[in-house]
Structure 1
């Protein structure tokens, strides 16, 4: 009737889809690595009777370390914790497609190497040795430059230029290893980095000094007279974003806010224009203690009401959905399956604590995908009322079929008993007096 604009109507629909995200255990990712195991191993969604055996399905037997989706939302790329089927010597730490073209992708690894591949052939096109463990890397989603920022054991941010094929320069400021990186989605030369020293630093890669200052958790007002991006009166050179290592970092897609996560079990939301801590409180439920990059995902600003973005937080064995700016917990999505999982690598079989290691946002209608240390890739898709009704009908049909099969089996059993009785009687010699 014209009461709602097209964007407003679209946001109503997509907000409902984001809020309806649920686990989808029926969709499995098969890496064609096979092992026959007993059913009583705790594996979820088993339809085999106890004591039987079945084929266990993995995406990666040794565990999944990283996920990424191409710009067309058609290809899902996964990296394993083992080097068995990889161009790297050790496990993958991060994966990323070219932001404008799915014809190439990048991988970084614990083996100190950053590698560039042709997607179609998966052949290595370029190999960069940074002589240090690379915990993650980042490509700008909008930049005309092809600089890859790398977070390594070394305290400097390392920049690799794919166009020239060189390790262009380093940006100094952190004290200790770097664990997280994120380019601004609106300003192509602005980069944020987080390290074990508890600081989040902003950089302008065009400058010789590069540093724009740090974020300070004690500052809830921000710096007056500056936009936080180096085009102002002064910068903040002291302060910490977290009381522990900062291993999670992302921006909202409009570039207005930066989201950080640290080993102090806190998530903080920052005004990117002023560097102010918005004081969003996410409660005491957060878990974060691993020395690896923590994947964070924020729903696009265009998909929800203004100021109502949703943060997806990997809380060990559950996916938490928060309202970003207030920190309100919207939903707890528990990862199906056992707490401890058996995985297989080149060194043999071992037990690992199951946790989420990667997140890839595909879209409101297509949900989000997660990587896990138990070797699985799990989809989390929106389920509407129609989806629930369809599943209920399918379950009722399946139940009816099982009952019919059980009835047939019972009838067959009774017939076999009668046949046995008849055969026994006919075999006996009967005499009449």
Structure 2
């Protein structure tokens, strides 16, 4: 911990929030993969069959979600339509699911595309699936209480974090954003304007009726669901000034694009002033939401984004960071890239250590993808840690490891080694005494 911050807080020079931000920011920069594991069962040692089953989802993990109330429960969705819920405080090393829902012969065996908790109650959550459905589940029983068939593949769903209208924005193969009302159980209306499949949707965190959507046509559009026309404007990658409102009023025939390829990731900043978009042109762009201006943040040539499934970056909570030092975490194939959001500077590359995995070489459905590709990220509310989903069926936890933690671990390791050495020396002394006794000849003298 920074001694200067402690002194400034003790003498009243700084508010306590300054110290809190500084310490949280220091921990974020110290994030590392930890040894916590997620598996459906405890594997037996030296049993390859059991090790093969010791994963979160046998066919790969497609989606993650963490409740924003307690920050305690994690949802995971598999490529085989299975769903599990985990208690992140149950065990710091080996986590077992509280409950799991596996595919059955009556259900379609298609993968989960996204999960999200109910906005005002973590006792319910929503899932979208490649089988064209959006379902509402109970978090306690994992039983579906409602199902909506949208007649096309559902890539993405979004619930407003602040609104009480309970509309679910759905991105599907259809070139229009579908809105489903959880109260009435019906699809209320569609937002038409895109010319390709909708891959990502995101509600504004400050304006309850404003929605952003990205599609395979490379466009990102803003909508006000209260308006008959709906569309507020379109982002243009060539616009660094901010003329979105002018373009929306004139409605030119030339289509502005935010990316030179499909847009499969959208996320708002917490204050709603900026929005981050990601596309198959392997670019991440940051936009001013008031004007639509491209901030021209350049994230460099390392960004990889080639999958049709949504790839949504994670933004570190602003209350944990110094002012104007926003951080973005991007799932870059087999690693997580940490960037300064407004400058685009690469801060760190986070990777898991190489792990030996037992690969099932049999052909057939339901087998894991042995490639360790990251499919989703989720930040844990109220904590400095996040989790990643992987195509090989695993879930990884990323937690801070500071220099102090490393020193304590080294000290504990030295103490363990010294204790082992002491035990070996004692065993050696006892062994020598025993050998001396067994080698000594015993004679019985006569009188």
TM-score range (shorter-chain normalised) is 0.7 to 0.9
> Does the 8 Å contact 2:380/2:386 carry over to 1?
yes
Aligned to 1:66: 63
Bigger mean CA deviation after superposition, 375-384 or 321-330: 375-384
Pick one of 387, 394, 399 that aligns with 1:376.
394
Aligned position for 2:160: 140
Q: CA deviation at 1:357?
A: 1.0
Q: Determine if the alignment matches structure 1 residue 6 to structure 2 residue 16.
A: yes
Deviations 1:282-330 (A, max 9, x none): 0111111011000211112222122211001000111111000000111
- The TM-score, its normalising length taken from structure 1, stands at 0.84
CA contact (8 A) 1:109 1:133 kept: yes
Deviates more, 1:389-398 or 1:176-185: 389-398
RMSD after superposition: 3.1
What 5-or-longer segments of structure 2 have no aligned partner? 1-10, 83-100, 440-447
| Separation of aligned partners in 1, 2:166 and 2:363 | 35
Please say if 1:96 is aligned against 2:113: no
Q: CA deviation at 1:383?
A: 2.1
Q: Do the aligned residues in 2 keep the contact of 1:340 with 1:353 (CA within 8 Å)?
A: no
Cα distance in structure 1, aligned partners of 2:53 and 2:415 = 26
Give the count of matched residue pairs.
406
SS of the aligned residue for 1:254 comes to coil
1:267 CA drift (Å): 0.3
Aligned with residue 374 of structure 2, among 351, 356, 374? 356
Give the distance between the partners of 1:339 and 1:278, measured in 2 at CA. 43
1:161 and 2:189 are equivalent in the alignment: no
Q: Which residue of 1 aligns with 2:91?
A: none
Q: Distance in 1 between matches of 2:333 and 2:357?
A: 12
Q: Which residue of 1 aligns with 2:77?
A: 79
Provide the C-alpha distance between the structure 2 equivalents of 1:313 and 1:406, rounded to a whole number of angstroms. 48
Residue pairs, 1:117-266, within 5 angstroms:
117-223=137-243, 238-266=255-283
1:6 CA drift (Å)? 3.1
The correspondence for 2:344, drawn from 312, 322, 327, is: 327
> Does the aligned pair in 1 maintain the 2:41–2:53 contact within 8 Å?
no
The aligned runs of 1:274-353 (5 Å cut-off) are: 274-338=291-355, 342=359, 347=365, 349=367, 351-353=369-371
Residues 1:408 and 1:55: Cα distance change in structure 2 (over 3 Å): farther
Distance in 2, matches of 1:314 and 1:170, equals 31
SS in structure 2 opposite 1:379? strand
Give the counterpart of 2:404 among 355, 371, 386. 386
Q: List gaps (5 residues or longer) in structure 1.
A: 42-52, 423-433
Give the match for residue 20 of structure 1: 30
Cα distance, 1:56 vs structure 2: 6.2
Per-residue CA deviations over 1:87-128 (Å, capped at 9, x if unaligned) read 662111100001111111001111111000111222211000
Distance 1:394 1:159, change over 3 A: same
Paired residues of 1:36 and 1:55 also in contact (CA < 8 A): no
2:134 corresponds to which residue?
114
Alpha-carbon separation, structure 1, partners of 2:358 and 2:192: 40
| Higher mean C-alpha deviation, range 353-362 or range 395-404 | 395-404
- Taking a change above 3 Å as real, the CA distance of residues 176 and 394 of structure 1, as seen in their structure-2 partners, is same
CA contact (8 A) 2:312 2:376 kept: yes
CA distance in 2, matches of 1:414, 1:339: 41
Q: Deviations over 1:263-296 (max 9, x none)?
A: 1111000001100000000011111101100021
Between the aligned partners of 1:184 and 1:387, the Cα distance in structure 2 is 38
What whole-Å deviation, never above 9, does each CA across 1:116-144 have from its counterpart, x for those lacking one? 01112222110001111111100000111
Describe the SS at the equivalent of 1:4. Answer: coil
Question: Contact 1:71–1:100 (CA<8 Å) still a contact in 2?
Answer: no
Pair 1:116–1:412, CA change in 2 (3 A) = farther
Length-normalised TM-score, structure 2: 0.82
Provide the residue aligned with 2:95 in structure 1.
none
Distance in 2 separating the partners of 1:55 and 1:341: 6
